[in-house]
Amino acid sequence: MDSETWTFAKTYPKWPHEYIVRDRVDAQLFDELVRYIRQEGQLQSFYSKKYRYLGHAGMWYWTMVEQTHDGAWSYPIEDETIVNRCLEQESYENRLKAGTLPEDSSS
């Protein structure tokens, strides 16, 4: 994770984060990262949605795939295209606690 070149997501400035794209990195390692996030990540909120977040070395990693009501995933690991990360203090949970959440523009 640390050796990849992450791209700053400038289209969503209220939520500073970076991302990697499957077709720009080693696909096998990308799949392993997605699998690890899905298996070991903590289910946490992002406004009204729930995603799996994996904490590592002061960063939170996640994908934009939600689990279905029966615990399955919306689509398989091989169809995942992006992994995101942000500083731990920029996570939804920490910003909620700090009272620094921006307005939800996704609803």
The answer to whether 27 touches 77, Cβ cutoff 8 Å, is no
Question: 18-32, pLDDT tens digit by residue?
Answer: 999 999 999 999 999
Q: For position 53, what pLDDT does the model report?
A: 96
Question: 29-88, pLDDT tens digit by residue?
Answer: 999 999 999 999 999 999 988 899 999 999 999 998 888 778 788 888 988 999 999 999
DSSP state of 48: T
Distance CA 68, CA 52 (A): 12
CA 88 to chain centre: 12
Q: Give me the residue spans of the domains in the chain.
A: 7-98
Q: How many CA atoms lie within 13 A of 73 on its CB side?
A: 17
Q: For position 106, what pLDDT does the model report?
A: 57
Band of the pLDDT at 105, cuts 50, 70, 90? low
Q: For position 107, what pLDDT does the model report?
A: 44
The answer to whether 16 touches 90, Cβ cutoff 8 Å, is yes
